[in-house]
């Protein structure tokens, strides 16, 4: 049953004529620059904590930023971007679909996390350019706003979840009403059922303070344990369970889906509509979680969302990444009817060494969390302004260091386990 405040909100007269705040817009300074929109150069910057930014500049001087972060595979995406940069210089940056079709369809080999992350970075930067040239935010180009704020969730716990209650309290104090946490540490294919007890206890603790929690199985939980864990969690009603099985197990996921009422979310390791299609057709997910920095950028994430809507599947962009991926995800969220919630990496456990979601931004106020939501981004393009000098200096420093990679998980017998 809806709370009184929710019912009041639904009756508010300001919604009787739609989303009025969508009218707010201030032209970007670069939009007035006369000149060609042909691509002059493409650069990429690896910056800590683990992000890969893409910068595209037009001959007319408009700069668009994108993000093709592929955690733990930075050099592979940098190689792909070097190839892409060589090919699309001189193309009209405004023709996003044509560039996408060329990079995806024309070159025979396609898809996968490396090529698609590179393409994602390019695609997001092109949408940023288009918005800046036309003087409108990206959501305006996607059909206009269907909501005036996007719900977001923060992380608690980390890779080795321990005491989460204090962290949940801190998130609540920051304004979050929903969080996500890893369900388990590394698990064996067949582990002790007792290994799952802690998961249930932690969910109970977090929910005791009145916030909801999604549980990320992270592909760590193989089938013999996943069906036990879903059953054990069911009475405690998690918001969703994420990647309850590794991608690729469509039939097995369908079996699990039929055993539980908990919403099943998945999609961060699916790239393009083609990868998503069998999950929708099998009817084994409730929430699709495309990662805009891997799935094909704004163009492909929007298409995945539209395809999912036909199956009554909601969209919750996966985004434990940087400010450009987050802004791009929100832009899609503002314009997409079946958007439900977006991941936000602010103060996430991966953001170490003094580098966080807001570090490279000169307008961090646009990501302020209020009542669990981010307000409509109204500036042209992605709506994010960056400190380019800081990015260039950090990229030069980070280039002397090994890029981020995930920790290695091994079982008591020494064998590799899923991270
Ligand atoms: Mg996940």
Is residue 204 a part of any domain in this protein?
A: yes
CA distance 202 to 234: 14
CA distance 12 to 210: 25
Distance 408 CA to ligand 1 centre (A): 17
Distance 4 CA to ligand 1 centre (A): 33
CATH of the domain at 200: 3.20.20.120
Distance 155 CA to ligand 1 centre (A): 11
This prediction's pTM: 0.94
**77: phi then psi, degrees, rounded to nearest 5:** -70, -35
Of the given ranges (3-12, 53-62, 100-109, 312-321), which has the lowest mean pLDDT?
3-12
Residues annotated catalytic, as ranges: 218, 318
Written as six digits, the tokens of 236 are 């405690």
Task: Tell me the C-alpha to C-alpha distance, in Å, between residue 355 and each of 47, 49, 346, 347, 358.
Answer: 9, 6, 10, 9, 8
Q: Quick: pLDDT tens for 368-378.
A: 999 999 999 99
Distance 345 CA to ligand 1 centre (A): 12
pLDDT score, position 160: 63
DSSP 154: E
Beta-carbon contacts of 390 under 8 Å, excluding residues fewer than 6 positions away, are 359, 360
pLDDT score, position 255: 98
Is residue 115 a part of any domain in this protein?
A: no
Is residue 211 a part of any domain in this protein?
A: yes
Distance 219 CA to ligand 1 centre (A): 8
Q: Is the dihedral of CA 345, 332, 119, 94 positive or negative?
A: negative
Is residue 272 a part of any domain in this protein?
A: yes
DSSP 377: P
Expressed as residue numbers, the domain containing 148 is 139-381
CA distance 216 to 183: 5
Return the ∠ at Cα 256 (arms to 254 and 259), rounded to 5°: 115
Written as six digits, the tokens of 285 are 């997910």
Give me the residues near ligand 1 (ion), CB cutoff below 5 Å.
216, 242
Counting the structural domains of the chain, the total is 1
DSSP 416: B
Nearest to 61 by CA among 91, 102, 84, 31: 31
Cβ–Cβ under 8 Å, residues 200 and 233: yes
Q: Quick: pLDDT tens for 259-270.
A: 999 999 999 999
Mean pLDDT value across the chain: 93
pLDDT at 159 over 70: no
pLDDT score, position 419: 94
pLDDT at 26 over 70: no
Confidence grade of residue 18 (pLDDT, cut at 50, 70, 90): confident
Cβ–Cβ under 8 Å, residues 329 and 317: yes
Q: Which carries the bigger pLDDT value, residue 393 or residue 18?
A: 393
Distance 348 CA to ligand 1 centre (A): 13
Is residue 255 a part of any domain in this protein?
A: yes
User: What DSSP assignment string belongs to 216-235?
Assistant: E-TT-S-HHHHHHHHHHHGG
Is residue 309 a part of any domain in this protein?
A: yes
pLDDT score, position 23: 58
Is residue 17 a part of any domain in this protein?
A: no
Looking at the chain, the whole-number percentage of residues with pLDDT higher than 90 is 89
Distance 33 CA to ligand 1 centre (A): 41
Is residue 175 a part of any domain in this protein?
A: yes
Q: Quick: pLDDT tens for 241-280.
A: 999 999 999 999 999 999 999 999 999 999 999 999 999 9
């Amino acid at each position: 049953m809806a709370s009184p405040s929710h019912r009041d909100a639904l009756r508010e007269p300001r919604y009787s004529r739609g989303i009025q705040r969508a009218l707010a817009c201030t032209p970007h300074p670069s939009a007035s620059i006369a000149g060609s929109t042909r691509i002059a150069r493409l650069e990429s910057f690896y910056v800590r904590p683990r992000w890969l930014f893409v910068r595209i500049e037009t001959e007319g001087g408009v700069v668009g930023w994108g993000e093709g972060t592929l955690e733990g595979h930075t050099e592979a995406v940098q190689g792909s971007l070097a190839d892409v940069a060589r090919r699309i210089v001189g193309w009209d940056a405004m023709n996003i679909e044509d560039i996408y079709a060329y990079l995806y369809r024309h070159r025979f080999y396609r898809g996968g996390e490396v090529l698609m992350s590179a393409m994602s970075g390019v695609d997001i930067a092109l949408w940023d350019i288009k918005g800046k040239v036309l003087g409108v935010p990206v959501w305006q180009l996607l059909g206009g706003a269907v909501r005036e704020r996007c719900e977001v969730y923060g992380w608690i716990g980390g890779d080795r979840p321990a005491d989460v209650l204090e962290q949940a309290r801190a998130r609540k104090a920051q304004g979050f009403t929903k969080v996500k946490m890893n369900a388990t540490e590394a698990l064996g294919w067949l582990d002790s059922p007792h290994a799952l007890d802690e998961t249930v206890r932690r969910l109970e603790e977090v929910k005791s303070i009145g916030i909801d929690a999604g549980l990320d199985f992270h592909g760590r939980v193989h089938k013999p344990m996943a069906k036990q864990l879903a059953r054990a969690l069911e009475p405690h009603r998690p918001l969703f369970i994420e990647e309850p099985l590794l991608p690729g197990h469509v039939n097995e996921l369908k079996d699990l889906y039929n055993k539980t009422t908990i919403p099943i979310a998945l999609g961060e390791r699916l790239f393009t509509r083609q990868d998503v299609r069998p999950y929708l057709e099998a009817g084994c997910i409730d929430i699709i979680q495309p990662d805009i920095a891997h799935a094909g950028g704004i163009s492909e994430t929007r298409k995945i969302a539209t395809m999912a809507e036909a199956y009554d599947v909601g969209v919750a962009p996966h985004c434990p990444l940087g400010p450009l991926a987050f802004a791009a995800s929100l832009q899609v969220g503002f314009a997409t009817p079946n958007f439900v919630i977006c991941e936000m990496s602010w103060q996430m456990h991966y953001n170490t060494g003094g580098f966080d979601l807001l570090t490279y931004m000169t307008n961090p106020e646009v990501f302020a969390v209020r009542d669990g939501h981010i307000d409509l981004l109204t500036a042209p393009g992605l709506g994010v302004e960056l400190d380019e000098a800081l990015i260039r200096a950090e990229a030069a420093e980070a280039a002397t260091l090994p890029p981020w990679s995930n920790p290695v998980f091994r079982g008591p017998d020494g064998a590799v386990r899923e991270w």
